Structure 1
Amino acid sequence: MPIVLFIVVAGLAAVQLLLRIYRYVKSPLRAVPGPFLARFTDFWYFQKLREGSFEVVNKKLHEKYGPVVRYGPDRYSFNDQTATRTIYGHGTQFAKSSWYDAWSSPAQWNLFGERNIQDHAQYRRQYQNAYSMSSLVEYEPYVDECAELFGQRLSELAQGGVPVNMGHWMQCYAFDVIGCITYSKRLGFLDQGQDIEGIIYALENSPRYSTLTGIYPSLHPYLFRLNNLVASSSSKARGVGYVINYTIEQMQEHQASAKILDHEVDDEEGDKDEDKKTRSGQSQGKARDFLSKFVARHVKDPDGFGKYHIVQGCANNMIAGSDTTAISLSAILYYLLKNPRCFAKLREEIDRQHTDKGSQSRSRYFSFKQSQEMPYLQAVIKEALRLHPATGLPIERIVPAGGATIAGRFFPEGSIVGVNTWIEHRNPHIFGQDANDFRPERWLSDGAEKIAFMNRHWIPFGLGSRTCIGRHISHLEISKLIPRLVRNFNFELSPDLAMPESSWGTANFWFVKPKNFMVRVMARNN
């Protein structure tokens, strides 16, 4: 019996291989260069993903093969300044590839993993008012609360005099801020300085699972159950489930305390109402966190915006929002410390902002409005997110019916195409011959036309209709914390990172996370 089974499996594998070879020979894209194994199987991509540094591999592929390369039998990566608008521009019909199926629970949707363009647009409309620019002022007190506690923790760490993992502490800050904004409550990461209920542990492993399983999405329904079974046996791995259960508990608490008796308007005119509330500075006693807004919408439209919508919205905030912000904060601090001239220049601008405008400016908090009045700060943020965007894989899309011409080559419908932000952001034809260098001044002194051109290719939060819905929240958290850190503390990289030719280690499983970002913190003597 085992021999028969082996023969059957081997026969099916041989047939599959022959089909792959036949399709490759007949393919109009057979001339697209790339690794030999990648011409016939996705296993090459799978293996490279397992290594956790595909942003580096992707760059080497383009250096070797040119602006269009294959990384699978029907997967194509682009390093061409015309490709992003063709693939991701507003109104295009390039849907997400099946790789994204592994980012959702089987038979359930979420905003990130939803592949249907029309369904995604409908879901996004239901959420987007809560993430509008006009809502940011409401969320500032939550950010200030966590920034104050973070400052206290750093002062305590400074007294110890030993390097600490700033990547971990940035993650703690990001989790507690998004917890406050979502539920009006910190989850306690900054209070305890450690992982709460295995959330960080789970979010280290969940992207790894989705990244690898997405290459073979037909296995996802089976591997998902197995993965959950293994996770349920480990107290460390229950983090995502904890977020879901915590959201449900907070929903019940909101309903019990009748926080939403005065329902908020959350429809197509929601932005106008938000502007009025922001200008007047009146919240009229209403709870303004995301959960309150989502519950209010559910009460107003229980059929169109169900309890599942509430859970998904809150959980996505916690899971996706924290990673993006923490990585970006770490990248900004890292590049500032690797470039002391830039750190000194930014500190000079911050100190000037802190003292030039009277007693109100000398508050221990920096308002979001003040942060927008510091051009070098904004240039530093843009430059760090250019060199280290939070995600580091090709953003895969499927060529729609009728095919499409991308970077001067025709791709038939069904082809998987994508641009890796790490590749786009280091293209010398866009950002100059010093594209690999950290130079914030490029955003201030390269001329208005050149800056506008670079802005069109600056895509750390995506592009088009699938742009990260929480990008404004992340920008708020970053813009308020960085000037506070630079003003109040001195930092020193650990000796191995401080060496001129050294660079920090990262792990890329969609999110490119720093590893052991060790920094010594010292309180600044003002």
Structure 2
Amino acid sequence: MSPSMVFWHLNNSVNLNHRLVLTMLSPSHLLLLLLPILLLYLLLRRILTNLFFHPLSSFPAPFYTRLSSLPLSLVSVLRREPDFLLYLSKKYPSARAIRISPNLLFFPHTSALKSIYWSQAHNHKGSLYGTGALGPTSLFSTISGDDHKALRKSLGGSQWSVSYLKNEQEPRIDNLVSSLVAQLSDLSPNDAVVSIDDKLAQFAADVMTLLTFGKPWGFIAHDRDEKRLLSAFREGLPFFGFAARCNSFRELFLSSGLMRSLILPTVDDKHGNGYLASQARLAIVQREKERETEHLLEEGGGYKVKDYLDYTLDARDSKGEPLVQWEKEGQITLLIQAGADTTGTALGATLRFMLQHPECLEKAREEINVAEEKGLLSTPVLYEETKQHLPYFVACIKEGLRLNPPAPNLLGRVILEKGGTMIDGVHVPQRAEVCSQSYTVGRDPETYGPDAEEFKPERWLGDDGKHKAEIEAASFVFGMGPRICLGKEIAIMELYKALPEIVRKFDFELVEVGKYVVLGGVAHNRGFKVRVRRRV
């Protein structure tokens, strides 16, 4: 047989075998073969787009944050997000914006804050808020700027002001400060090691349950985490952090109503954020029944001090109608989540800094002694007394908040302007998300100088009035602009009252410095232990 004939037979044989294979494969088999190829194609296309063709591809970033939102999500779960963002700000010192996720720009300098957070055009929140992982939708998690503006108008009012807190609530908070002092006094003779971070978190939780529901839940009185409110909140933060930062996870799992019901907390849960939401629902129902049948009168004919549950039920929307049930539940849940553990963190972090810097502690204590000798301090110390007579102590508090902010979250906003906008000297395209973070901008050397990472209360008391005004305006601890924390003054009142009073009454021996831990953009203190001795 000639070579040409051999080739002809071989070719026909191959074609015949190929046709036989194809005829033996069912459509489902063909799909199984094609599916990996399709997935590989989509993956490669996404990688190439994110690396080279994305509108944010020109911004500096590690290659892995260009590729996917997964690295940022894992950094959050591993409790390293503040350190990671600070590292990036130092890795790219001349950058005004850093790409920390495919569609998310991080601005590490205080000079960007006003453009991002004061502009009404940038009041539309980023996608990380839409997880539902922290319970019902609230002021914090409302995405639309217009919806937030309407809801905040309904829920805001004079009840959030310093004057209201001083006139209506400070005496009640005084009782909790006295309870905290009494508990620490009981521990003093035993020379026992105290987890002071837990004590301060319990105090803050009692303050918030008092202000929200009219009476504290008994954290201090029972010396425990009532209803596991604090621990359950912390346990839910890793999931919140991951879900908020991982775009694919939200798209694949949280976009489905069925998957959301399986993954996210529900009011049937026995603990955690679901349980907290159920308690908010129960409190609303009970209070509404009480308001139908009882007058809010105390002995002597004076009106009962209203709590924030009352104010939530009194709130009206733009049409004059009461808030719907989910809005009421969301607000009550938010008050406890946002105000309990975070303020406890601020209290503990500031005290730890002062104990680590004995010269600062002694200076603050001497200031208290001088004010006390002049008869300027009440027992417990009043908010206004701290503000007027203890300026160095106030500076210690501001410095502690700057270095260890209680909620160093990624406060993302979406750029909706057609054609994009300018932020801190760089052009940001439309539909990109932008954010900053209090931990990193609080260490911005452009604002705070080369010693920005040092605990130095004196920076808030400098003779340079212009610089003092600059760092005051740059403070990002409680957010900024239309979405600034509604309960900011509550936290400040607790700080100005509890810390001076316990420093006034006790000596602390630092046993374990503990850690400042951030999960899902929310901080808490862990393992901060002291010995407490009552001062003579």
Give TM-score, length-normalised by structure 1: 0.87
Residues of 2 paired with 1:198 and 1:295: CA distance? 26
Instruction: Find out whether 1:459 has 2:495 as its counterpart.
Output: no
Asked if the contact 2:129–2:143 (Cα under 8 Å) also holds between the matched residues in 1, the reply is yes
Asked if the contact 1:347–1:486 (Cα under 8 Å) also holds between the matched residues in 2, the reply is yes
Residues of 2 paired with 1:105 and 1:485: CA distance? 33
Identity of aligned residues (%): 24
**Mean alpha-carbon deviation: is it higher for 294-303 or for 168-177?**
294-303
Correspondence for 1:356 among 374, 393, 402: 374
Partner of residue 412, structure 2: 396
Q: Counterpart of 2:262 in structure 1: which amino acid?
A: L
Q: Counterpart of 1:468 in structure 2: which amino acid?
A: C
- The verdict on how the C-alpha distance between 1:237 and 1:338 changes in structure 2, with shifts beyond 3 A counting, is same
Instruction: Find out whether 1:418 has 2:435 as its counterpart.
Output: yes
Name stretches of at least 5 consecutive residues in structure 2 with no aligned partner: 1-27
Partner of residue 385, structure 1: 401
- The verdict on how the C-alpha distance between 1:453 and 1:482 changes in structure 2, with shifts beyond 3 A counting, is same
- The verdict on how the C-alpha distance between 1:485 and 1:224 changes in structure 2, with shifts beyond 3 A counting, is farther
Asked if the contact 2:236–2:273 (Cα under 8 Å) also holds between the matched residues in 1, the reply is no
Asked if the contact 1:17–1:40 (Cα under 8 Å) also holds between the matched residues in 2, the reply is no
Q: Give the secondary-structure state (helix, strand or coil) at the position aligned to 2:99.
A: strand
Partner of residue 348, structure 2: 330
Q: CA deviation at 1:162?
A: 2.3
Q: What's the RMSD between the two structures over aligned residues? A: 2.8
Instruction: Find out whether 1:47 has 2:85 as its counterpart.
Output: no
- The verdict on how the C-alpha distance between 1:19 and 1:200 changes in structure 2, with shifts beyond 3 A counting, is same
Q: 1:88-115: per-residue Cα shift (whole Å, max 9, x none)?
A: 1243434210100014678x63100001
- The verdict on how the C-alpha distance between 1:156 and 1:118 changes in structure 2, with shifts beyond 3 A counting, is same
- The verdict on how the C-alpha distance between 1:33 and 1:363 changes in structure 2, with shifts beyond 3 A counting, is closer
Q: CA deviation at 1:254?
A: 3.6
Q: CA deviation at 1:443?
A: 0.7
Q: CA deviation at 1:302?
A: 7.0
Q: Give the secondary-structure state (helix, strand or coil) at the position aligned to 1:390.
A: coil
Asked if the contact 1:54–1:393 (Cα under 8 Å) also holds between the matched residues in 2, the reply is no
Partner of residue 119, structure 1: 147
Partner of residue 233, structure 2: 203
1:53-92 aligned within 5 A: 53-66=80-93, 67=95, 68-92=97-121
Partner of residue 38, structure 2: 11
Q: CA deviation at 1:148?
A: 1.1
- The verdict on how the C-alpha distance between 1:245 and 1:308 changes in structure 2, with shifts beyond 3 A counting, is closer
Partner of residue 153, structure 1: 183
Aligned length: 496
Partner of residue 265, structure 1: none
Instruction: Find out whether 1:517 has 2:533 as its counterpart.
Output: no
Instruction: Find out whether 1:212 has 2:242 as its counterpart.
Output: yes
Residues of 2 paired with 1:95 and 1:121: CA distance? 10
1:296-311 aligned within 5 A: 296-297=314-315, 303-311=321-329
Correspondence for 2:384 among 351, 369, 377: 369
Q: CA deviation at 1:353?
A: 1.9
Q: Give the secondary-structure state (helix, strand or coil) at the position aligned to 2:340.
A: helix
Asked if the contact 1:391–1:510 (Cα under 8 Å) also holds between the matched residues in 2, the reply is yes
Higher CA-based Rg: 2
Residues of 2 paired with 1:392 and 1:43: CA distance? 19
Asked if the contact 2:342–2:406 (Cα under 8 Å) also holds between the matched residues in 1, the reply is yes
Partner of residue 267, structure 1: none
Q: CA deviation at 1:303?
A: 2.0
Q: CA deviation at 1:48?
A: 1.2
- The verdict on how the C-alpha distance between 1:523 and 1:2 changes in structure 2, with shifts beyond 3 A counting, is farther
Q: CA deviation at 1:243?
A: 3.4
Q: Give the secondary-structure state (helix, strand or coil) at the position aligned to 2:146.
A: helix
Asked if the contact 1:379–1:444 (Cα under 8 Å) also holds between the matched residues in 2, the reply is yes
Partner of residue 444, structure 2: 427
Q: CA deviation at 1:301?
A: 8.3
Q: CA deviation at 1:429?
A: 1.1
Q: CA deviation at 1:339?
A: 0.6
Residues of 2 paired with 1:343 and 1:333: CA distance? 9
Name stretches of at least 5 consecutive residues in structure 1 with no aligned partner: 263-281, 498-502
1:175-254 aligned within 5 A: 175-214=205-244, 215-216=246-247, 217-218=250-251, 219-220=253-254, 221-228=257-264, 239-248=275-284, 250-252=286-288, 254=290
Q: Give the secondary-structure state (helix, strand or coil) at the position aligned to 1:95.
A: coil
Asked if the contact 1:54–1:392 (Cα under 8 Å) also holds between the matched residues in 2, the reply is no
Correspondence for 2:499 among 468, 479, 482: 482
Q: CA deviation at 1:462?
A: 0.4
Q: 1:220-252: per-residue Cα shift (whole Å, max 9, x none)?
A: 255542235799576577642453245235514
- The verdict on how the C-alpha distance between 1:14 and 1:74 changes in structure 2, with shifts beyond 3 A counting, is same
Q: Counterpart of 2:116 in structure 1: which amino acid?
A: I
Q: Give the secondary-structure state (helix, strand or coil) at the position aligned to 1:445.
A: coil
Give TM-score, length-normalised by structure 2: 0.85
- The verdict on how the C-alpha distance between 1:5 and 1:483 changes in structure 2, with shifts beyond 3 A counting, is farther
Asked if the contact 1:199–1:238 (Cα under 8 Å) also holds between the matched residues in 2, the reply is no
Partner of residue 126, structure 2: 97
